[in-house]
Structure 1
Amino acid sequence: MSDTNKNNKSQTNESRRSFIKAGALAAAGFMIVPRHVLGGSGFIAPSDKLQVAGIGVGGKGSSDINAFFESGKADIAFLCDVDDRRAAGSVKKFPKAKYYKDYREMLDKEHKHIDAVSVSTPDHNHAIQALAAMQLGKHVYVQKPLTHDVWEARVLTDAAKKYKVVTQMGNQGASNDGPRQAREWYEAGIIGDVHTVYCWTDRPVWPSGIQWPTQKAEIPKELNWDLWLGTAPQKDYVDKLVPFNWRGWWDYGTGALGDMGCHLLELPFSVLGLSYVQDVQASVGTVYVDEFKRGYFPESCPPSSHATLTFPKGTRTNGPVTLHWMDGGIQPERPEELEPNEIYGDGGNGILLIGTKGKILADTYGKNARLLPTSKTATVNVPKKYDRVVGQEGGHYAQWVESCIAGYGKKPVSSPFEIAGPLTEALLMANLAIRGADLRINNQYPGRNIKLVWDNNAMKVTNFDEVNQFVKRNYRSGWDVKYTI
């Protein structure tokens, strides 16, 4: 919007010169004139709605831009997708929106007509796309997980402050009542001091622990494979990788942690004020290619894992907090306060906070937060300290739209990058341990049965250097994420 973009103009000139081709400043005759183009404090432009560009507009990207539009305060002005098949529904719904396949071309040609950008692409391209928009002074909404690598999460967290743009991660449960109710219970001392947390999921629901297909397939004519690869290594297209199974491959996805971690770790983060990890360890499930031979497929995420993260004492805890992450159907022992036939979490997923005086149990997205035993929930009343988001998880989208319209720092959002960045780093740290456990060196697995010690300032593991290659991966030539923290 006008104030935000005016404030960012001097900061982003250098980035604009390097990113935007000379002379390609605007598309002449564009029918909607955003307020920031016309300028002037308090000026009401012909369209007073947020002009949104979507990068990745099929599947989850489609539901994201639909939710922005349904807020009544946003126009979907531009659509970008590398796969015409996936984009077809959004193209049909928003016929006035100009369609691109390459986000770089879209931002190059249309940046003056864009107020905000929504990124809903595979994990490996989140950072480069979001950062390009932020460097142009655009507000950004980025699907979870925020990034693919630890370093990228730190970059986007820093960039949000530098460019003073409104940010939100797509972990919509952050806008639910559950995390706020749990925090009110905790701060009222109902469960004492929390020292242990469990988060678990029944994911993955995609192929994992398998060999990369040896037979390449014909690239669908509607798909630009080179643009889809983006930052990832050059490989031949294989069948069924798109649109969903990429989640099980480390080159593109972040496994079960990337898919569900942001939805499950958000409640303990917001309740306990967790930030950066001090150490992490993990064990992983294995697969067998036949009854005698164990498979070794380090390019594929494991079928199950258990990671244990230690967070240092914070402002809301009396000591360190140990957080256990479990996936692949592994669950922690049922609390003794839970009746034998009561559902643990929501059946497949759950969150458990263990304090010195009691426990809190919740479902995916922090829903249905309850005290244990559950009968206690109805009898405990504490003052409401934290404002609820209208529409809860559905209001997560409208909240971001309204904050963008108001301008940086004017209206709160539930998952700004200052919170979403450290949250994403934590789950990616767990992935470091998981990947480290699968590293085979001289027919040994030196990353197993050890605790990885993390130097947060240097962003490196200090006692097992081989795993640091995953803190910041090598990008394909021409697709580097260029940023200095």
Structure 2
Amino acid sequence: MEENKNKSRRDFVKTAAVAAAGFMIVPRHVLGGKGFIAPSDKLIIAGVGAGGKGESDLTGFMRGGKAEIGFLCDVDDRRAANSVKRFPKAKYYKDWREMFDKEAKHFDAVSVSTPDHNHAITTLAAMQLRKHVYVQKPLTHDIYEARILTEAAVRYKVVTQMGNQGTSSDGSRLLMEWYNAGLIGEVDTVYCWTDRPVWPQGVPWPAQKSDIPKELDWDLWLGTAPKADYIDKLVPFNWRGWWEYGTGALGDMGCHLVDAPFRVLGLKYPTDVECSVGSVYVDSFKRGYFPESCPPSSHVTMTFNSEKQGGKAVKMHWMDGGIQPERPVELGPDEIFGDGGNGVLFIGSKGKMLCDTYGRNPRLLPLSRNAEINVPATLARVPDQEAGHYTQWVEAAIAGYGKMEVSSDFSIAGPLTEALLMGNLAIRGFDIRKPNATGNGFTYPGRYKKLLWDGPNMKITNFDEANQFVKRAYRSGWTLGA
């Protein structure tokens, strides 16, 4: 009798446990109840790059309550400390390759917030595991890498998003609606400008190497880049000014400023590019030659064919280092041009429009025109805008590939990144030098050329020396798989 009672009790416990387990994985829409998120509805994210921007990205994913940070990875324990404290249940790694090998079956998506030179290799490896990816801007360091990631997103059918949050703003949608309504007519010229860099550029690589901090795995930080001695202050921020690791002011801010005209006008690959760069002086007279460092300022002019204007040419001017275009006559002498240090100006056949960084604060010129705007909203808005850039990716990843729209998936972010990096080809080509005929000096053939770009084939057709920057060689042991 007692044996039968124990058996009945064991059967009850077993049945209850199975029922409980079944209850835990029932989808939220079946359970009902506003605000309830079942475990099966949560996106488990592995964060590669847990400090700085990576830290704020991980926090952003949590805003909608549908994400869980399951794993953290950072080469620098100092930078990761806040995230480790904030997400105590997340298992911590230093090498993303080890994390992917050991934990891939335990996470759904990957956030990549590393220096530019390691974006592509980490992102592609995640996509090959069929993981959804959110990648900080710029998408990649090289044009070739951007093309590979754009194609891979379709091949592996994963939800993608680049971290240029202005693409989810109301401002960028207003600019599109005003343009589509014909308020400024056809656009032939766009100016984008920034006060970046705010890190050293146009400087020689320091001769004095420094001791590697004990918390930093320097070899892993270098990743795909050539072996180099550790130098003070390169990590965590000043790497942006060195071509081996960063993409300069254009790579840093272009995704936030060029994105609006890219979408408004239906742009893709530029057809040609030319540039000038600011000089660097080692002393009062002699210009320094530091091709390993981005210049302190640049003015890049790219020509695009606008899909929305029947292929009509559009000139886009990019200015950094504090260079700004001439103020439009329609802007009053005391009215702010852009946001002061950054901005975008569209010049159309019927008028002009202006916005700040991230497409914010769009306005027609003169400002008095804005009181007369009566254009209906035709484009869906992203709730909570900046936070929504994160949460829309989380929700789209939960829904599955192709089920929901996101603002900056790789089909958009990839070509945008390629266009920006094409501008960098001109900047780097500007500093290519060769011995002159007499052998007692140098010529700089890239300085007098307009570079012609074959976008589909990723090739400059009239200055082959600059094509070396389209696809760089990775350090031994690091490979970008197809």
My pick for the range that moved more, 71-80 or 450-459, is 450-459
Q: Match for residue 130 of structure 1?
A: 123
2:211 equivalent to 1:218 = yes
Instruction: Give 1:206's aligned amino acid.
Output: W
Work out which of the residue numbers 277, 289, 308 in structure 2 matches 1:284.
Answer: 277
Which residue in 1 is equivalent to 2:19? Answer: none
Matched, 1:80 2:73: yes
Aligned 1:57-72 pairs, distance under 5 A: 57-72=50-65
CA–CA distance in 1 between the matches of 2:84 and 2:191?
42
> What is the rounded CA distance, in whole Å, between the counterparts of 1:194 and 1:467 in structure 2?
30
Q: Partner residue of 2:459?
A: 460
Show the counterpart of 1:356. 349
Instruction: Kindly indicate whether the alpha-carbon contact (under 8 Å) linking 2:188 and 2:347 is maintained by their aligned counterparts in 1.
Output: yes
Inter-CA distance 253–39: structure 2 relative to 1 (3 Å threshold): farther
Check whether the contact 1:193–1:317 (CA below 8 A) recurs between aligned residues.
no
Q: CA RMSD in A?
A: 1.6
Q: Map Cα deviations across residues 229-267 of structure 1 (whole Å, 9 max, x no partner).
A: 000010010110000000000000000011100000010
Q: CA deviation at 1:39?
A: 12
Corresponding residue of 1:191: 184
Compute the displacement of 1:324 (Å). Answer: 0.4
Letter in 2 for 1:275: K
Q: Give 2:9's aligned residue.
A: none
Letter in 2 for 1:109: K
* Residue-by-residue CA offset, 1:395-436 (whole Å, 9 max, x unaligned): 100010011011111111000000000100111000000000
Matched residues in 1 for 2:205 and 2:154: separation? Answer: 40
- Provide the C-alpha distance between the structure 2 equivalents of 1:207 and 1:52, rounded to a whole number of angstroms: 34
Offset from partner CA, 1:184-212 (integer Å, 9 cap, x none): 11111110001110000000000110000
Deviation at 1:224, TM superposition (A): 0.2
Shifted more, 309-318 versus 383-392: the winner is 309-318
Corresponding position of 1:480: 479
| 1:362-395: CA deviation from partner (whole Å, max 9, x where unpaired) | 0000000000111111211111100111011221
SS in 2 for 1:361: strand
Residue type of the partner of 1:88? A
Q: Please say if 1:299 is aligned against 2:285.
A: no
Residue type at the aligned position of 1:477:
S
- What residue in structure 1 maps to residue 369 of structure 2? 376
- Matched letter for residue 377 of structure 2: K
Q: How much does 1:294 deviate? A: 1.1
* Residue aligned with 1:457, SS: coil
How many residue pairs end up in the alignment? 446
Task: Tell me the residue number matched to 1:5.
Answer: none
5 Å matches for 1:115-126?
A: 115-126=108-119
* 1:207 partner amino acid: P
Q: Distance in 2 between matches of 1:293 and 1:471?
A: 30
Residue 81 of structure 1 aligns with an amino acid whose one-letter code is: D
Partners of 2:161 and 2:199 in 1: how far apart? 27
Give the Cα–Cα distance (whole angstroms) in 1 for the partners of residues 434 and 347 of structure 2. Answer: 38
Q: Secondary structure at the match of 2:145?
A: helix
Q: For 1:431 and 1:240, how far apart are their aligned partners in 2?
A: 24
Partner amino acid for 2:348? Answer: G
Whole-angstrom distance in 2 between the partners of 1:183 and 1:461? 31
Q: Amino acid of the residue matched to residue 62 of structure 2?
A: F
**What is the correspondence of 1:37-186 to structure 2 with a 5 Å cutoff?**
46-186=39-179
SS of 1:448's equivalent in the other structure is helix
SS of residue matched to 1:447? helix
CA drift at 1:315: 3.2
The sequence identity of aligned pairs, in percent, is 71
Deviation track 1:255-300 (CA, whole Å, cap 9, x = no partner) reads 0011100000010011111111111111110111111211110000
User: 1:396 and 1:268 mapped to 2: Cα distance?
Assistant: 19
Deviations for 1:297-344, whole angstroms, at most 9, x for unmatched residues? Answer: 000000000000011241345611110000000000000100011000
Gaps of 5+ in 1: 1-34
Question: Is 2:63–2:387's contact at 8 Å kept on the other side of the alignment?
Answer: no
Q: Is the 8 A contact 2:195 2:341 kept in 1?
A: yes
| CA distance in 2: counterparts of 1:419 and 1:392, whole angstroms | 18
In the TM superposition, what is the alpha-carbon distance from 1:126 to its structure 2 partner?
Answer: 0.2
**1:325 aligned onto 2:318:** yes
Q: Distance in 2 between matches of 1:318 and 1:415?
A: 23
Q: CA deviation at 1:465?
A: 0.4
Structure 2 residue aligned with 1:227: 220
Runs of 4+ in 1 over 3 A off after TM superposition: 42-47, 315-318
1:194 and 1:317 in contact (8 A); partners too: no
| Paired letter, 1:277 | P
Secondary structure (helix, strand or coil) at the match of 2:260 reads helix
- Whole-angstrom CA distance in 2 between matches of 1:157 and 1:394: 24
The answer (yes or no) to whether the contact 1:193–1:318 under 8 Å persists in 2 is: no
**CA–CA separation in structure 2 for the residues paired with 1:418 and 1:378:** 36
Q: Aligned ranges for residues 19-30 of structure 1 at < 5 Å?
A: none
Q: Which runs of 5+ in 2 are unaligned?
A: 1-21, 32-37, 436-441
What is the SS of the residue equivalent to 1:147? Answer: coil
Q: Which has the larger radius of gyration?
A: 2
TM-score normalised by structure 1 residue count: 0.90
Paired amino acid for 1:373: P
